[in-house]
Amino acid sequence: MEECIFCKIIRGEIPGKFVYRDTQVVAFHDISPKAPVHVLVVPVKHIESVREITPEDQELMGLLMLKVKDIAKKLGIALSGYKVVVNNGESAGQLVFHLHLHLLGGWKKSPGWEV
Ligand code: AMP
Ligand code: ZN
């Protein structure tokens, strides 16, 4: 069983503020938001980073992006705009080695935030 923090959140062993979950993809609010809306979209399958994806993951990778689209709509940032960021490897700032897409948006509604 994976000991990584995101696997523990997915298994419910540590709390997460979920905005979406199904058997393949989950999304929860980042604990330290860098934007007014900052959600992490995460495959249930433990894959460390883009470096470790395989052709077997092709469908799952497509599904992740479709979920980003749906979750952005659900959170009300689809039309105002958002960023999708994936950090890969330590020098790129990856801290949690379970692949995740940062979905960042909502700046227009929060004047104090800079893009
Ligand atoms: P990265 O630097 O791309 O690996 O991003 C990891 C992200 O996970 C950071 O933005 C952290 O704030 C976030 N994070 C770490 N621990 C938790 C947690 N327990 N719940 C939600 N987000 C977390
Ligand atoms: Zn994991």
Neighbours of 62 (CB within 10 A): 10
pTM greater than 0.85: yes
Read off the pLDDT of residues 10-55 as tens digits, 9 standing for 90 and up: 999 999 999 999 999 999 999 999 999 999 999 999 999 999 999 9
Ligand nearest to the CA of 8: 2
Examine the residue annotation and report whether 100 is marked as an active-site residue of this protein: yes
Q: Which 3 state secondary structure label does DSSP give 68?
A: helix
Which H helix or E strand runs over 74? helix 58-74
Q: How far is the CA of 32 from the centre of ligand 1 (A)?
A: 7
Closest CA to 44 of 60, 31, 26: 26
Quick check: 108 pLDDT over 90?
no
Closest CA to 82 of 35, 45, 41, 42: 35
Q: What is the pLDDT of residue 95?
A: 97
Quick check: 111 pLDDT over 80?
no
Binding site membership of 10 for ligand 1 (Cβ less than 6 Å) = no
